[in-house]
Structure formats: structure tokens, C-alpha cells
């Protein structure tokens, strides 16, 4: 190594030259040793207050205005002030250039850790993981957010902030059902998106002719009603992306309302991969910072003291409380992800017989970095766990599977533990917990009654008898009905199409009038 | 690869401020209720402080499709003694763990911190000072001086040198006034020139230039500009608040406490409106004196009751210290209503001729014992007097209060934003 042995910094203080040196040192290791391929980095130094600001706009540097972000901010500020919540050391944005926010309070060691973690670990993952490649446009996101912010502000000027707020409220309520789950359509190009919106507005303005309004209505021919099948095909039904369906087919929305829905939908889509790769993303970043920090220490570029400081925060980050611990609140994605990455490293470099049997493809292959890069690129949490959670790790975490069937009066059954009979079942169940197909309720738009009262029909197919919470569902459906402008019916059915419950919600008059 | 470091620390902070304001606006009714509730059991001194308020989440939540119930499977770490097929007792109803409760479910109340300004704003929302513009337009304003561009005339002290010089420069350039170095160059050339004809020619040139210099002055009177000032009416940004209180033996601690609360609210309110607020405490028995706050509320005193003495004292203080042209004067009188019958005439006269004309606002607060419903009792002598004055058209506001909880409603009622025609009853 060219500059090995030379200390990057002394003590806890840092300045911009030191940050640059740290970055360069990390970059050298990331490239030469780990073979990472990253977007150009942009490191931004911010204050604690700005970090709080960023929290409440989902970590993005710019975002449109909405009261719900203010609510979040008020809440977070209160818990931060009371000391209930610490702030993250860093926020990183999936964009090109990849922006990492560093808090000014961090010591030089922490900045090194954060740069290794975010600017190389997360950055590599964003650039190479297939989900991000498929669904997000890192080059365009910042421009698109800028456009969204401006567009929404312009709408508020034109149509009043109340009407905009009402539309956004409704769209937010349906955000979790505003994503395409399966690829098929072409990937979004957010820059084009922005241009397209502008062009459409221009087109509308240029072809607007008030005369058309005065032309008497031509009597519409009474069409033979479409067959149900043809109608559904025309509307693209069944459709699980409710926001997309509304944007395209809701009968009484104004063009700007469709655009707002589109914006919310695109942003939901942008964040969709992040929800599916928490374990992998954090695992990758933690593994990368661990490797880089260790190497820096080995090269003598950080002192033993710095290294101990790093180890302490690293240990805190990857701490996994056990289920009966008061601190337990589900799996820590850092802990699980990092443990799995290290475990894969072990399997690739020094496998045991059991590993050879379970992982014939990678056991003893020797090229740790290559195998890991391959995995980082091609898996998401669910498939990653169901493929690579090893018996050794199941034993180390002492994982067990609980099955809680309300019909079973004996209690909650321990279904599998970390033994020969249980490994596969534990692994399958854990993978399922990370499967988006199970995390979000399976709700689809199935039909529209075009001949009758235009009611919109949705269906929720329950999984394992879990039904929707009634109060919340009514509220969400209210929003949906307001956008649709006619009645909305949601039917809950179980796997065998037996109807469990039916909701009917009518639009509020005010919303219909606003359309 | 190139790496950029951007220092954002100096960027304007509080990007979330607008979102926060939107949130407060949306939750206004709820927050206002919470503010009033929390201010009721606060010490009046702390009313101005912001603080944590709790509002119910109803209407502020963001609903999502959420599922609950059904068969649940979970994988957990840290097995110690379970083997396959064991049964665990279900945890008691509420303490179910596993899938974390969604947002908006478990929290039925939402707590957050309001800043001092937000708190006061919400607290005093919908209140306004009565009769400010109508009655005293001339007197509530004083004159101030403001820069107002430049003028072509003025006193020498106000010459704007930079403006004058730059105009002169522009003029000299426009009229092509020869520069000093041009003339010097020509003179030098003449000095070195041997050819007589050429010399003559140059001399003529030099002469022309010098003549031109004389014709075009360096600074012309038309270049001169003066800084111009304008007098503008400036609203008086100071107010004085007179607290008048009867401290005779009949006033109990409870009554004084009620009065204090009212004064404090008035103070907070005026403070928001004016940069500078002075308070004058005048307490009276059968004679009045100006005292400090502590003595006002806690100092012992006894004697008869002569309200006019307080009014005389206030009138004197206004005359000597607070010229009505420079000060906005507010007065609030608290009393249990007792007054010597013989004093009524003088009190009424002082009030209508001396006090009310200089006051922006005069409020009379009749305080009573907690358990005592003043409303059932016959009107006190002071109340009867003031009511008569009011019916004759004197701009007085009066209220009766006997419970702590009534103070704020009464205050709010007095200062509620009203349409033009309505009068404070």
C-alpha cells in the first residue's frame, strides 16, 4: 500500500483535509481489496438540527411540504430533546452522486466509520443490487424531487393548499399500495418524467379552446355493455397498484390531482427496494466498514485508541438482544446482516463438512469478495435469508420458530428450534418475515361497475386469517372513495374465496365537488 | 474518483419549520384546547413559557391498511430451553408482542413541545386590543425620520459625496473633458519638439484642451445630490399598564389571586403587541400609593375604601410620567366592589373626565369569594356606579369573577376579535 503507516489523523478532531484523506484511504481499500464499484461520493457535513430536519423528510435533502412531516418532526424533536432517541451518525441517499450526511459532532474515528459504511458500503449496494437497478433512478431522483416540490407548491398557489392537502392525504394513505411489485413495464426515467409533466401541461394550455364547452353534447350511442372480461382487460384489472389505477382511471380527478398521485406513487416506488433489502443493505455496509476499519488499523493508519473507539460503536450497532430481553424489538438488521456476511466469508474461506453439504456452490471457493459481490447484486432479504442462513448461524443465534394459532387453546407452539429437524423450517419462516408479499396486505382492484353506479370493487385476500383493522381500513377507504368520487367496496375473502367481511364507503361530498 | 465535501452547517436550518407550522395549523383546534388546559393549572409567571402539550391523535393520524389477528408465525433469537413441540402460555391480552403495533394504534395521545412564541400565539389567538385605531390614531403615533432617496436641493450637511462624485465623473466622461495626463503628455511633447510649425500646431491643441478643461468643470452644481429624509409617522411601541387594586381588609387572598391572574394575562397580551411595556401598581385603601409588585400582592394594609384616591394617583402619574401622546395606556382595576357611598360622585367624575379619555382600555374586574356566587348577590356600590357610567356611554369594560377557572374565559371574552359595530359589553 502506497501510504501505509502514515496516520490519517490524531485525536478526535477533524477538518476537511482529514475527511478527504480518510475518504481516499477508504477508497483505496474499497477498490483494491473489496472490488467495490460505487457512485461518485459527495459528503455533506450537517448539524444535529439539520439531521432532525432530514429525518422528518424521509432522509431526503429536499421534499415537498406536508403537515405529516411536521408531525413527525414535532414528535422526533420532542423525543430527541428528552433524550429518548439518539440521532443516526449518518444518512445516505441513493442518488448519483451518492450523498452521505455526516454529523458535525462525530469524532474523526466516527467519521471514518461512517464514510466506510455509507460512502462505500451502502453506495456499492445501491449501485449494484438488482432491485435498485430495476426500480430506482439514482441519476434522476434529486431533480425529480425538486420538480415534485415545485409542482406541488405551484398547485397550492393555483388550487389552494387545502385541496392539495386533501389529495396528498388520500394518496399517502394508499402509498403502501402504490407500487409495482413485478417488473414488466419499462424502468422509470425520472428526468423524462419531469419533462413529460411539463409538456403535458403545455399541450393542455395550447389546445384549450373555450368554444368546445359551448358545443351541444352529441347524444352518446347506447353501447352494448361490454362483457365483464373485456372490461376488466381494458381497465388492466385486476390491479394491485391502487394509486396507478386511480391515476389512470379515476373518473373525476383533475389533471393536477393525477399528477400529485403520480408523484406520491413514484416516491413510494423509489423507496420500495429499501424496504426489501434492510438486512442485506445494512449487512453489506457493516461488513464493508468492518473490513475497511480493520485494514486501516493493520496498516497503522489509525491508532489502537481509535480502533477501540470504533470497536465499541461497532459492537453497539451489531448488538442483537434475545427475545426475552427487555430491549428486544425484533431482529436488528445490522446484527443479522453482518453475521450472515461474516458467516458467508467463513463458508467460502474455511468451510466445514456441514457447510459443504448445505452450500456446495460457494463452500471453499476461496474468492470471498467475489462471492459476496455476487450475492449483494442478486438477492433481496427474503431470498438472501432463504438461501444463505446457515445451520451454524441458526445455532449461534439460537433461533426458534413460534406458531400462534388462536384456535389452539394449549398456547403458542414451539414449532422448530436450532436442530437438524428445524434448520430448514426456521430458515423458511424467517425468510417469510422479510417477504414483501406477506408484509403488505394483498389488496387488489378487481372491477368497476361501469354500467351501474360506477362503484369500485376491491378484494383483500387474507393470509393466515389476518383481517384488516376496521377503523383504519374505513379511514383509508374514505380517502380512496374521495379520490374515486363514487362508492368503494372492499371485500375480504380467505383463500377459498369465502367472504369474511365487506366494507362499503361513499365519498364525502366536499371531495366530489372539488374534483 | 473525485469526492466532494460540502459544508451544509451554515445552510439555513429549520427546513421543517414550514411543515411544523402546517401541522400546527391542522391541529389548531386540538392544540389550542391543550394549550388552554395546560395554562389553567400553570403559574401565571410561566404562562409565557412554551412547553409540552399533549393532543389526542384523533384526526391527526395517518391511516394505512393494517392487518391484525389470525395465525401468527415468528422466528426469535435466544432460545434457552425450548424443544420442538413445547407449548408456551399466551401472554395476557394487552402485552402481546411480536409484530410491532403500527403507528397510530398504540399511541392514543401525541406529545410534543411548543416553543414560547407558538404557545403565546395559540394562547392569545383570536384576541385583539380594542379600539386601538379608532380612538387615538393621532396620539398613538409619533414622527420618525427615514431615508428617502436623493434630492437636488438640501443643506450642505446632507451632501451625498459618493453620489455627487459619481455623477460628476459620468458627466466628465460624457462631455469628454480632457484628462490631466493627456495635457501633461502634450506639454511634454511640446517641450521636446524642435520643429516650429509642429510646435505651433501642438500649442494650439494644448490651448484648445485647456480651454475645454475650463469650460467643463470638475464638479458642476448640477452634479450635487443631497440625501433626502422624510418624516414618517411611527406607531408608539410602548405601553403602560396600570394595575389598580383595592387592598382594604375586605379583599381576601383568593380575590387578590384572581386579580393577579387577570393582570398577568393582560401583561402577556400587551407584551405581544408592544415592544416595551411598563407596569404601574397602585394599591389603595382610603388613600392610594404606588408600590412594587411584591407589596402590591402581598403587603399588608388596612383601612377604609376610597376608589377615587387610586384614580387621583393614577391621573397624577400619567401627567408626570406617561404623556398620553407617547404611551398607550391600559388600566385594569380589581376590587371587591366596596366603596364609600359618598365617594361615588368624585370617582365617576374623575373617571369620565380624566382617566377614560387618556386610556386605550379600562377594565373593571369585580372579584368575589370562591364559593360565593356574586351573580346572586345584589350589585355592589362600585358595580352600580360603573354600570351607570357605562350606560351613559363611557368606554368601560366590566366583569365579575369568583373562580380561578373563569379568569381566562373572561379575559378572552373581553378581548375577543369583534366586528366593527359590536362593542365590548
Check: CB of residue B28 under 8 Å from CB of residue B123.
Answer: no
Per the domain annotation, does B86 fall within a domain? Answer: no
Run of H or E residues at B365: strand B361-367
- Name the band, by pLDDT with cuts 50, 70 and 90, for residue A401: very high
Chain A closest-CA separation from residue B89 CA (Å): 5
Q: How many domains is chain B built from?
A: 3
At B280, phi and psi to the nearest 5?
-120, 125
> Which among B16, B68, B75 is the nearest to A430, CB-wise?
B75
Chain A residues touching residue B26 (CB < 8 angstroms): 67, 165
**Tens of pLDDT, residues A405-460:** 888 888 888 888 888 888 999 999 999 888 877 778 888 898 888 777 888 999 99
Q: Considering only residues A55 and B189, tell me which one the structure prediction assigns the higher pLDDT.
A: B189
Give the architecture-level CATH label for domain A441-514.
Answer: 3-Layer(aba) Sandwich (3.40)
What 8-state DSSP symbol labels residue B115? P
Q: What share of chain B is helix, strand, coil (3-state, %, to 5)?
A: 45, 20, 35
CA distance A189 to chain B (A): 25
Do B267 and B381 belong together in one domain?
Answer: yes
Residues of A in contact with B110 (CB under 8 A): 71, 75
Instruction: Measure CA of the first residue to CA of the last residue in chain B; give whole Å.
Output: 76
DSSP, residue by residue, B327-363: -EEEEEEEE-S---GGGHHHHHHHIIIIIHHH-SEEE
Which of chain A's residues have a Cβ under 8 Å away from the Cβ of B93? none
Q: What pLDDT, on a 0 to 100 scale, did the predictor assign at position A123? A: 93
**Distance between B109 CA and the closest CA of chain A, angstroms:** 11
Q: How far is CA A513 from CA A258, A277, A486, B394, in A?
A: 16, 42, 12, 50
Q: How far apart are CA A311 and CA A292, in angstroms?
A: 12
A283 backbone dihedrals φ, ψ, rounded to 5°: -60, -45
Please indicate whether, in this complex, the C-beta atoms of A45 and B7 are within 8 angstroms of each other.
yes
Please name the residue of chain A whose CA is at the shortest distance from the CA of residue B114: A74
Name the phi and psi angles at A232, rounded to 5.
Answer: -65, -35
When CB atoms are compared, the residue of B8, B66, B73 closest to A469 is B66
Chain B CB contacts of A441 below 8 Å: 65-67
CATH number, residue B285: 3.40.50.410
Are B175 and B304 found together in one domain?
no
Query: Which range of residues forms the domain containing residue B349?
Result: 236-415
| Rounded Cα distance, A194 and A263, in Å | 10
**In degrees rounded to 5, what are phi and psi of residue B334?**
-120, 140
Asked if residue B156 is part of any domain, the answer here is: yes
Q: How far apart are CA A236 and CA A74, in angstroms?
A: 42
C-alpha cell, A501: 367481511
Tell which residue, B269, B283, B292, has the closest CA to residue B360.
Answer: B269
Question: Average pLDDT over chain A, rounded to whole?
Answer: 85
State mean pLDDT over A325-340: 90
Number of H helices, E strands in chain A: 24, 10
Chain B closest CA to A466's CA: distance in Å? 4
Going by their DSSP bridges, the two strands B328-335 and B361-367 should be labelled as: parallel
Check CB contact under 8 Å for B85 and A413: yes
| Interchain contact, A411 vs B67, CB within 8 Å | no
B243 vs B365: CA distance, rounded Å: 11
Cα separation, B265 vs A509, whole angstroms = 42
Q: Shortest CA distance to B312 belongs to which of B387, B242, B262, B360?
A: B242
Retrieve residue B395's grid coordinates. Answer: 368606554
Q: Which helix (H) or strand (E) segment is B228 a member of?
A: strand B226-235
**Residue among B6, B9, B16 minimizing CB distance to A53:** B16
For residues B179 and B315, membership in a common domain is answered with no
Q: Do A50 and B11 touch (CB under 8 A)?
A: yes
* Rounded Cα distance, A471 and B152, in Å: 75
The cell for B108 is 392514543
Please, which pLDDT band fits residue A199 given cuts at 50, 70 and 90?
Answer: confident
Residue B14 lies in a domain: no
Contacts of B13 in chain A (CB under 8 A): 47, 49-50, 53
Give the residue from chain A lying closest to B97, CA to CA.
Answer: A329
Asked if B164 and B252 count as a contact pair (C-beta separation under 8 A), the reply is no
Task: Give the chain B residue whose CA is nearest to the CA of A427.
Answer: B75
What is the reported pLDDT for A26? 93
Q: CA-to-CA distance for A114 and A95, rounded, in angstroms?
A: 17
Residue B127 sits at φ, ψ, to 5 deg, of: -105, 150
Residues of B in Cβ contact (< 8 Å) with A44: 5-8
Confidence of residue A210 (pLDDT cuts 50, 70, 90): low
State residue B340 phi and psi, 5-degree precision: -65, 135
Q: Per the structure block, which three cell numbers stand in for A478? A: 374514505
Burial class (CB within 10 angstroms; exposed 0-12, middle 13-18, buried 19+) of B114: buried
With contact defined as beta carbons under 8 Å apart, do B112 and A74 qualify? yes
Identify whether residues B250 and B283 lie together within a single domain: yes
CA nearest neighbour of A120 among A383, A311, A371, A373: A373
Contact between A441 and B65 using a beta-carbon 8 Å cutoff:
yes
B318 and B381, same domain (yes or no): yes
Q: What pLDDT is recorded for position B233?
A: 67
If asked whether residues B304 and B388 sit together in one domain, one would say yes
Dihedral over alpha carbons B124, B125, B127, B128 (to 10 degrees):
100
Global pTM reads 0.69
Cross-chain Cβ contact A65/B23 below 8 Å: no
Task: Indicate the helix (H) or strand (E) that contains A447.
Answer: strand A442-448
C-alpha distances out from residue B421 to B92, B328, B330, B416, Å? 63, 23, 22, 13
Query: Which has more confidence, A90 or A370?
Result: A370
CB A172, CB A71: distance < 8 Å? no
Residue B16 to residue A68, Cβ atoms within 8 A: no
Task: Tell if the CB–CB gap between A414 and B111 is shorter than 8 Å.
Answer: no
Residue A66 is predicted with a pLDDT of: 85
Same domain, B200 and B255: no
Q: Contact A398/B79, CB-based, under 8 Å?
A: yes
- The answer to whether the CB atoms of A78 and B52 lie below 8 A apart is yes
Pairwise CA distance, residues A480 & A170, whole Å: 7
Omega of the bond leading into A97 within 30 degrees of 0 (cis): yes
Q: A291: which residues sit within 8 A by CB, 6+ positions away?
A: A29, A33, A34
Contact yes or no for B74/A433 (Cβ under 8 A)? yes
The whole-angstrom separation of Cα B328 and Cα A279 is 66
Per the CB < 8 A criterion, the answer to whether A384 and A125 are in contact is: no
- Whether residues B242 and B313 fall in one domain: yes
Counted across chains A and B, CB pairs separated by less than 8 A come out at 258
What was the pLDDT predicted at B28? Answer: 76
pLDDT for position A53: 80
- Give the whole-angstrom CA distance, residue B296 versus residue A479: 59
How far off is chain B from A448, nearest CA to CA, in Å?
Answer: 21
Q: Considering only the beta carbons, identify the residue of B68, B80, B100 that sits closest to A466.
A: B68
Give, for all 425 residues of chain B, the pLDDT tens digit.
Answer: 678 888 888 777 667 778 878 887 877 777 777 776 666 655 555 556 666 777 766 566 788 888 887 888 888 998 888 888 888 888 765 444 433 333 333 345 667 777 777 777 777 666 666 544 433 433 445 567 888 888 888 888 889 999 999 999 999 999 888 888 888 988 888 888 888 888 888 889 889 989 988 888 888 888 999 998 887 766 666 778 888 888 877 777 778 777 877 887 777 777 776 767 788 888 888 888 888 877 877 777 777 788 888 888 888 888 888 887 777 788 888 888 877 778 888 888 888 888 888 887 788 888 877 665 545 566 778 888 888 888 887 778 888 887 777 777 777 777 776 554 444 44
In a domain, B423, yes or no: no
Residue A513's pLDDT band (boundaries 50, 70, 90)?
A: very low
- Domain positions in chain A are 16-129+277-312, 318-437, 441-514
CB atoms within 10 A of CB B301: 15
Best-predicted range by mean pLDDT among A277-291, A490-504, B65-79, B142-156?
A: A277-291
Cβ separation of B22 and A70 shorter than 8 Å?
Answer: yes
SS3 string, B140-173, reads CEEEEEEEEEEECCCCHHHECHHHHHHHHHHHHH
Q: Which residues of A touch B9 (CB under 8 A)?
A: 45-47, 50, 104
Percent of chain A that is helix, strand, coil (3-state, to 5)? 55, 10, 35
Mutation test of the interface with chain A: which of B17, B74, B86, choosing the one with the most A Cβ atoms within 10 A?
Answer: B74
Question: Cis omega (within 30 of 0) on the bond before A238?
Answer: yes
CB contact under 8 A, A466 and B69: yes
List CB contacts (< 8 A) between A104 and chain B. Answer: 9
Question: Cβ A69–B71 below 8 Å, yes or no?
Answer: no
Residue with cell 452522486: A97
Judging contacts by C-beta atoms under 8 Å, the chain A residues touching residue B109 are none
Task: Please list every residue in chain B whose beta carbon sits closer than 8 Å to the beta carbon of residue A418.
Answer: 79
Q: Are residues B223 and B241 in the same domain?
A: no
Q: Between B21, B73, B105, which is nearest A429 by CB?
A: B73
Cβ–Cβ gap B9/A20 under 8 Å: no
In a domain, residue B91? The reply is no
Q: What is the CB neighbour count within 10 angstroms for residue B236?
A: 18
Q: How far is A17 from chain B (nearest CA, A)?
A: 10
How far, in Å, CA of A81 to CA of A68, rounded?
Answer: 20
Residue numbers in A near B7 (CB within 8 A):
16, 44-45
Q: Kindly list the distances between the CA atom of residue A8 and the CA atoms of A105, A294, A303, B298, in Å, as whole numbers in the listed order.
A: 18, 14, 9, 67
Contact (CB<8Å) A324/B78: yes
Comparing alpha-carbon positions, the chain A residue that sits nearest to B92 is A411
Q: Are residues B295 and B337 located together in one domain of the fold?
A: yes
Judged by CB atoms closer than 8 Å, whether chains meet at A67 and B70 is answered as no
If one counts every other C-beta atom within 10 angstroms of the C-beta of residue A500, the result is 13
In terms of domains, do B177 and B240 share one?
no
Edge-to-edge strands of the sheet including A499-505?
A442-448, A456-461, A488-493, A499-505
Task: Specify whether the CB–CB gap between A126 and A98 falls below 8 A.
Answer: yes
Residues B209 and B264 in one domain: no
% of chain A surpassing 70 pLDDT: 90
Could you give the CA distance from residue A400 to residue B370 in angstroms, rounded to a whole number?
Answer: 66
Q: Do B7 and A462 touch (CB under 8 A)?
A: no
Kindly determine whether residue A77 and residue B112, on different chains, have CB atoms separated by under 8 Å.
yes
Residue of A nearest to B53 (CA): A78
Amino acid at each position: 500500500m502506497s501510504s501505509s503507516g502514515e496516520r490519517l489523523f490524531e485525536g478526535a478532531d477533524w477538518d476537511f483535509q482529514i475527511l478527504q484523506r480518510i475518504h481516499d484511504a477508504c477508497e483505496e481499500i474499497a477498490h483494491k481489496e473489496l472490488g467495490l464499484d460505487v457512485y461518485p461520493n459527495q459528503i455533506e457535513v450537517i448539524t444535529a438540527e439539520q439531521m432532525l430536519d432530514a429525518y422528518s423528510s424521509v432522509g431526503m435533502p429536499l421534499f415537498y411540504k406536508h403537515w405529516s412531516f411536521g408531525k413527525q418532526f414535532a414528535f422526533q424533536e420532542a423525543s430527541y430533546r428528552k433524550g429518548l432517541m439518539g440521532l443516526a451518525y449518518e444518512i445516505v441517499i441513493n442518488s448519483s452522486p451518492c450523498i452521505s450526511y455526516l454529523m458535525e459532532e462525530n469524532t474523526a474515528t466516527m467519521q471514518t466509520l461512517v464514510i466506510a459504511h455509507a460512502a462505500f458500503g451502502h453506495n456499492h449496494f445501491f449501485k449494484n443490487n438488482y432491485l435498485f437497478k430495476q426500480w430506482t433512478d439514482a441519476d434522476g431522483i434529486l431533480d425529480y424531487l425538486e420538480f415534485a416540490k415545485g409542482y406541488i407548491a405551484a398547485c397550492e398557489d393555483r388550487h389552494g393548499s387545502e385541496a392539495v392537502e386533501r389529495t396528498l392525504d388520500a394518496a399517502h394513505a394508499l402509498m403502501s399500495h402504490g407500487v409495482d411489485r413485478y417488473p414488466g413495464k419499462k424502468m422509470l426515467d425520472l428526468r423524462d418524467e419531469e419533462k413529460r409533466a411539463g409538456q403535458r401541461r403545455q399541450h393542455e394550455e395550447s389546445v384549450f379552446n373555450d368554444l368546445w364547452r359551448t358545443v351541444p353534447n352529441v347524444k352518446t350511442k347506447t353501447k352494448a355493455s361490454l362483457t365483464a372480461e373485456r372490461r376488466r382487460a381494458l381497465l388492466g384489472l385486476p390491479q394491485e397498484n391502487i394509486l396507478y389505477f386511480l391515476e389512470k382511471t379515476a373518473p373525476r380527478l383533475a389533471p393536477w390531482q393525477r399528477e400529485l398521485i403520480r408523484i406520491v406513487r413514484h416516491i413510494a416506488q423509489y423507496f420500495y427496494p429499501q424496504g426489501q433489502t434492510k438486512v442485506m443493505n445494512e449487512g453489506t455496509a457493516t461488513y464493508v466498514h468492518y473490513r475497511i476499519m480493520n485494514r486501516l488499523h493493520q496498516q497503522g493508519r489509525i491508532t489502537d485508541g481509535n480502533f477501540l473507539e470504533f470497536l465499541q460503536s461497532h459492537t453497539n450497532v451489531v448488538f442483537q438482544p434475545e427475545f426475552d430481553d427487555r430491549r428486544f424489538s425484533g431482529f436488528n438488521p445490522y446484527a443479522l446482516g453482518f453475521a450472515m456476511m461474516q458467516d458467508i466469508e467463513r463458508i467460502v474461506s474455511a468451510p466445514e463438512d456441514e457447510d459443504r453439504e448445505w452450500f456446495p456452490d460457494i463452500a471453499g471457493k476461496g474468492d470471498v469478495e467475489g462471492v459476496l459481490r455476487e450475492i449483494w447484486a442478486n438477492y433481496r432479504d427474503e431470498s438472501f435469508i432463504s438461501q444463505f442462513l446457515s445451520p451454524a448461524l441458526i445455532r449461534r443465534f439460537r433461533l426458534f420458530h413460534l406458531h400462534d394459532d388462536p384456535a389452539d387453546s394449549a398456547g403458542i407452539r414451539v414449532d422448530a428450534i436450532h436442530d437438524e429437524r428445524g434448520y430448514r423450517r426456521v430458515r423458511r419462516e424467517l425468510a417469510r418475515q422479510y417477504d414483501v408479499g406477506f408484509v403488505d396486505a394483498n389488496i387488489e382492484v378487481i372491477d368497476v361497475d361501469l354500467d351501474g353506479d360506477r362503484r369500485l370493487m376491491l378484494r383483500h385476500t387474507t393470509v393466515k386469517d389476518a383481517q384488516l383493522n376496521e377503523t383504519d381500513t374505513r379511514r383509508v377507504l374514505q380517502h380512496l372513495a374521495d379520490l374515486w368520487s363514487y362508492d368503494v367496496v372492499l371485500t375480504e375473502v380467505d383463500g377459498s374465496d369465502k367472504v369474511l367481511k365487506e366494507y362499503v364507503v361513499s365519498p364525502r361530498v366536499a371531495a366530489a365537488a372539488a374534483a | 474518483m473525485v469526492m466532494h465535501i460540502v459544508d451544509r452547517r451554515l445552510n439555513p436550518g429549520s427546513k421543517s419549520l414550514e411543515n411544523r407550522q402546517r401541522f400546527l395549523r391542522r391541529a389548531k383546534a386540538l392544540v389550542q384546547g391543550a394549550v388552554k388546559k395546560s395554562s389553567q393549572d400553570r403559574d401565571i409567571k410561566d404562562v409565557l413559557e412554551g412547553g409540552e402539550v399533549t393532543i389526542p391523535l384523533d384526526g391527526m393520524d395517518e391511516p394505512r391498511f393494517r392487518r391484525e389477528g389470525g395465525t401468527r408465525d415468528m422466528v426469535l433469537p435466544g432460545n434457552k430451553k425450548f424443544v420442538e413441540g413445547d407449548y408456551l402460555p399466551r401472554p395476557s391480552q394487552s402485552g402481546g408482542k411480536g409484530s410491532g403495533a403500527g403507528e397510530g394504534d398504540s399511541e392514543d395521545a401525541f406529545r410534543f413541545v411548543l416553543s414560547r412564541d407558538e404557545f403565546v400565539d395559540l394562547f392569545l389567538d383570536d384576541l385583539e386590543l380594542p379600539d386601538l385605531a379608532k380612538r387615538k390614531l393621532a396620539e398613538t403615533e409619533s414622527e420618525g425620520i427615514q431615508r428617502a432617496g436623493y434630492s437636488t436641493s438640501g443643506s450642505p450637511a446632507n451632501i451625498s459625496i459618493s453620489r455627487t462624485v459619481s455623477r460628476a465623473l459620468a458627466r466628465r466622461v460624457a462631455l469628454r473633458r480632457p484628462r490631466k495626463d493627456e495635457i501633461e503628455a502634450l506639454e511634454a511633447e511640446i517641450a521636446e519638439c524642435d520643429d516650429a510649425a509642429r510646435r505651433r500646431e501642438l500649442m494650439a491643441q494644448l490651448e484648445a484642451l485647456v480651454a475645454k478643461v475650463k469650460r467643463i468643470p470638475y464638479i458642476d452644481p448640477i452634479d450635487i445630490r443631497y440625501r433626502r429624509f422624510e418624516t414618517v409617522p411611527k406607531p408608539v411601541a410602548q405601553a403602560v399598564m396600570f394595575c389598580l387594586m383595592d387592598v382594604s381588609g375586605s379583599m381576601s387572598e383568593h380575590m387578590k389571586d384572581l386579580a393577579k391572574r387577570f393582570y398577568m394575562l393582560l401583561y402577556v397580551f400587551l407584551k405581544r403587541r408592544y415592544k416595551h411595556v411598563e407596569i404601574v401598581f397602585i394599591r389603595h385603601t382610603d388613600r392610594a400609593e404606588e408600590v412594587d409588585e411584591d407589596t402590591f400582592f402581598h403587603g399588608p394594609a388596612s383601612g377604609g375604601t376610597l376608589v377615587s384616591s387610586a384614580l387621583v394617583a393614577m391621573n397624577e402619574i400619567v401627567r408626570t410620567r406617561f404623556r398620553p401622546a407617547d404611551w398607550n395606556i391600559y388600566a385594569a382595576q380589581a376590587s371587591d366592589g366596596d366603596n364609600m357611598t359618598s365617594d361615588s360622585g368624585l370617582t365617576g367624575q374623575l373617571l369620565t373626565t380624566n382617566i377614560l379619555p387618556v386610556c386605550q382600555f379600562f377594565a373593571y374586574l369585580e372579584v368575589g369569594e370562591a364559593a360565593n356566587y356574586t351573580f346572586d348577590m345584589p350589585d355592589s356600590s362600585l358595580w352600580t356606579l360603573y354600570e351607570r357610567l357605562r350606560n351613559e356611554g363611557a368606554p368601560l369594560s366590566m366583569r365579575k369573577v369568583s373562580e380561578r377557572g373563569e379568569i381566562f374565559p373572561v379575559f378572552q371574552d373581553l378581548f375577543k376579535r369583534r366586528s366593527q359595530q359590536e362593542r365590548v359589553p
